[in-house]
């Protein structure tokens, strides 16, 4: 058996800080601390402020073949 007192629950994930403001996150809006920070992050994604970097594949350029025709 374990040495925990009865009724103590181990959290499933470690506590993290809000990616927007750094305050502790809450369960209702995880990983954010509030619905406001969650909405700010969503707005940044939708407005294009966040972008995933794209790198052209160098192998396609080195063989001299073009997909354009």
User: Does the annotation flag 31 for ligand binding?
Assistant: no
Q: How many CA atoms lie within 13 A of 44 on its CB side?
A: 12
Query: Hunting for tokens 């972008």 — which residue is that?
Result: 51
Residues 58 and 65: their CA atoms lie apart, in Å, by 12
User: Does the annotation flag 37 for ligand binding?
Assistant: yes
User: Does the annotation flag 18 for ligand binding?
Assistant: yes
- Which DSSP state fits 38? H
User: Does the annotation flag 27 for ligand binding?
Assistant: no
Q: Point out the annotated binding site for Zn(2+).
A: 18, 21, 33, 37
Q: Point out the annotated binding site.
A: 18, 21, 33, 37
């Amino acid at each position: 058996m374990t040495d925990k007192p009865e009724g103590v629950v181990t959290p499933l994930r470690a506590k993290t800080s809000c990616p927007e403001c750094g305050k502790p996150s809450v369960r209702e809006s995880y990983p954010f601390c509030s619905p406001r920070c969650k909405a700010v992050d969503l707005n940044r994604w939708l407005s294009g402020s966040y972008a995933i970097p794209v790198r052209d594949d160098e192998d396609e350029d080195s063989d001299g073949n073009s997909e354009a025709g």
